[in-house]
């Protein structure tokens, strides 16, 4: 066994979305990764049941991506994309657009999911204003929505802890009701039967503010960060219809669902609903280099090009938009997905995965199980007076037993790399069931 020394001062690095003080007492340190496994600093192999943070879809150390990055660093380390360009960025934009439903034809590159969300919200506002409909300034999100951590994203997001510390946020936002309804839908396999009518909450909001003031609605087609909430059957279709009737743009935040997670390139394709804008990141580069992409409908791009009063059509962009290293990583990632037919692999594994998830039904404290593609949400009942304590304990026990899982409060979310084998799926759920049986 190889042992790596621990840092002597954990307080220097202020860790993101982490219990910093608790971590320093009982650190979980990773020193290497290959395929489905991390190596911990005490030399153990840890099964990655979360693809990092929903991003390492092709598994760790993919050879196609590694080679592409080695070539790229020797050729072009950085070039700006403000009034200059690299051929590879234009090629990648075409390849990305081709993965999404027809009509979504233009790509704006960002550095993360949060940047993609802020970009999409700004493009929506810009679109209406450019067309002379500048009264449309309201942005509508949904309770329990997660759209990253920029001020735009937290303003339309619906997670209390992500909002309450940060002042008044963007003005002019509102939120639809969330769709989580365990009383009617617990233990659904795939999309739940009940709740399409919750989309009508947008009508209520539109009537309150007047539809002519609303620029866009943003939702995750499948909400990941608040515990894997699948859209009720017919819900997204209904949302699309309401948006169409009222001139409202529909944005799908596909930061975790795009690039194969549900068995197709996008959730839009899985659910048969085409939004006006799709935000992506994570799986675009397999997590290897930060990058996001916003895919935009033809009419929005055309409008910006036609109506612009200035040579620069959109006053927005990032130093790292289309960073050459990220572009190389993304092109190689899409290549590895295609060459290894990885989205089809997710689709093929999904029934077995679903059975494995729902085998947990009789395990103590499990109050709901949700699944789609290679995603699972395992909801535990909270300990009385200590919400989140049971979930946190499961996460720590899983680490001790060689599993990386993710918990949101008392909900476990699983989203492994697409290269997971049937045996590894079995091992993952056996270990997890064992842990859940042992904790109180």
Ligand X SMILES: Cc1ncc(COP(=O)(O)O)c(C=O)c1O
**Of the residues 62, 105, 253, 297, which one makes contact with ligand X according to CB under 6 A:** 253
In angstroms, give the least distance from the CB of 399 to ligand X: 20
* 60: DSSP letter: B
d(CA 127, CA 302): 10
Nearest to 387 by CA among 160, 229, 184, 186: 160
Contacts with ligand X, 71-90, as mask; x by CB under 6 A = --------------------
**Of the residues 114, 119, 280, 415, which one makes contact with ligand X according to CB under 6 A:** 114
Residues contacting residue 293 through CB under 8 Å, at least 6 positions apart = 93, 96, 107, 108, 109, 110, 116, 280, 281, 284, 330
Binding segment (CB under 6 A) for ligand X, from list 158-166, 219-227, 384-392, 410-418: 219-227
Q: Does 252 bind ligand X (CB under 6 A)?
A: no
Asked whether the beta carbons of 328 and 92 are under 8 A apart, the reply is no
Considering only residues 308 to 327 of the shown chain, the ones binding ligand X according to CB under 6 A are none
In the bound state with ligand X, the residue whose beta carbon lies nearer, of 251 and 334, is: 251
Structure tokens at 367: 């109050």
In angstroms, give the least distance from the CB of 223 to ligand X: 7
User: CB neighbours (10 Å) of residue 306?
Assistant: 10
d(CA 79, CA 326): 11
In angstroms, give the least distance from the CB of 121 to ligand X: 12
Q: Does 113 bind ligand X (CB under 6 A)?
A: yes
3-state secondary structure of 38: strand
Binding segment (CB under 6 A) for ligand X, from list 87-95, 130-138, 158-166, 252-260: 252-260
In angstroms, give the least distance from the CB of 346 to ligand X: 18
In the bound state with ligand X, the residue whose beta carbon lies nearer, of 136 and 147, is: 147
Per-residue exposure over 373-400, b if at least 16 CB sit within 10 Å of its own CB, e if not: bbbbbbbbebbeeeeeebbebbbebbbe
Q: Does 281 bind ligand X (CB under 6 A)?
A: yes
In the bound state with ligand X, the residue whose beta carbon lies nearer, of 206 and 322, is: 322
Q: Does 275 bind ligand X (CB under 6 A)?
A: no
**Of the residues 59, 224, 231, 260, which one makes contact with ligand X according to CB under 6 A:** 224
3-state secondary structure of 285: coil
**Of the residues 51, 88, 117, 291, which one makes contact with ligand X according to CB under 6 A:** 117
Nearest to 167 by CA among 179, 154, 185: 154
> Shortest Cβ contact with ligand X: which residue?
113
Binding segment (CB under 6 A) for ligand X, from list 87-95, 111-119, 192-200, 335-343: 111-119
**Of the residues 256, 284, 342, 432, which one makes contact with ligand X according to CB under 6 A:** 256
In angstroms, give the least distance from the CB of 341 to ligand X: 25
In the bound state with ligand X, the residue whose beta carbon lies nearer, of 188 and 415, is: 415
Asked whether the beta carbons of 330 and 290 are under 8 A apart, the reply is no
In the bound state with ligand X, the residue whose beta carbon lies nearer, of 17 and 315, is: 17
Considering only residues 136 to 195 of the shown chain, the ones binding ligand X according to CB under 6 A are 146-148
Residues contacting residue 324 through CB under 8 Å, at least 6 positions apart = 72, 76, 77, 78, 79, 86, 88, 89
**Of the residues 120, 255, 327, 407, which one makes contact with ligand X according to CB under 6 A:** 255
d(CA 255, CA 358): 26
Q: Does 220 bind ligand X (CB under 6 A)?
A: yes
Nearest to 97 by CA among 85, 111, 109: 109
Backbone angles phi, psi at 219, to 5 degrees: -140, 155
Residues contacting residue 16 through CB under 8 Å, at least 6 positions apart = none
Nearest to 251 by CA among 203, 218, 290: 218
Total site size for ligand X, rule CB under 6 A: 14
Q: Which residues of this chain interact with ligand X, rule CB under 6 A?
A: 112-114, 117, 146-148, 220, 224-225, 253, 255-256, 281
């Amino acid at each position: 066994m190889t042992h790596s020394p621990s840092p002597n001062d954990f307080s220097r690095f202020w860790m993101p979305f982490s219990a910093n003080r608790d971590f320093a007492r009982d650190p979980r340190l990773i020193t290497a990764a290959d395929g489905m496994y991390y190596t911990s600093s005490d030399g153990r192999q840890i099964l990655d049941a979360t693809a990092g943070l929903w991003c390492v879809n092709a598994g760790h150390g993919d050879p196609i991506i590694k080679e592409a990055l080695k070539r790229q660093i020797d050729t072009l380390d950085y070039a700006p994309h403000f009034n200059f360009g690299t051929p590879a960025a234009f090629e990648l934009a075409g390849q990305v657009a081709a993965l999404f439903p027809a009509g979504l034809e233009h790509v704006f590159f960002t550095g993360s999911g949060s940047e993609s969300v802020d970009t999409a919200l700004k493009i929506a506002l810009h679109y209406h204003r450019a067309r002379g409909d500048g009264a449309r300034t309201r942005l509508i999100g949904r309770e329990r929505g997660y759209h990253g951590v920029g001020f735009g994203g937290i303003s339309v997001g619906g997670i209390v802890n992500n909002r309450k510390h940060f002042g008044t946020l963007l003005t002019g936002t509102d939120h639809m009701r969330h769709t989580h309804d365990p009383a009617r839908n617990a233990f659904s396999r795939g999309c739940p039967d009940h709740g399409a009518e919750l989309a009508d909450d947008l009508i209520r909001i539109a009537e309150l503010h007047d539809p002519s003031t609303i620029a866009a609605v943003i939702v995750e087609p499948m909400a990941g960060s608040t515990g894997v909430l699948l859209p009720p059957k017919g819900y997204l279709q209904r949302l699309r219809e309401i948006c169409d009737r009222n001139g409202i743009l529909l944005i799908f935040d596909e930061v975790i669902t795009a690039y194969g997670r549900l068995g197709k390139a996008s959730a839009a394709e899985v659910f048969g609903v085409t939004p006006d804008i799709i935000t992506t990141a994570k799986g675009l580069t397999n997590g290897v280099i930060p990058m996001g992409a916003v895919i935009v409908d033809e009419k929005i791009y055309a409008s910006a090009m036609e109506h612009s009063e200035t040579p620069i059509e959109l006053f927005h962009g990032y130093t790292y938009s289309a960073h050459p290293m990220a572009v190389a990583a993304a092109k190689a990632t899409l290549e590895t997905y295609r060459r290894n037919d990885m989205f089809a692999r997710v689709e093929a594994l999904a029934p077995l995965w679903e059975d494995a998830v729902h085998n947990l039904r009789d395990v103590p404290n499990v109050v709901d199980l949700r699944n789609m593609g290679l995603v699972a949400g395992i909801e535990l009942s909270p300990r009385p007076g200590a919400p989140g304590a049971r979930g946190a304990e499961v996460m720590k026990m899983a680490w001790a037993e060689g599993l990386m899982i993710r918990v949101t409060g008392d909900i476990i979310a699983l989203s492994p790399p697409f290269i997971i084998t049937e045996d590894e799926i079995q091992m993952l759920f056996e270990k997890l069931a064992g842990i859940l049986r042992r904790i109180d």
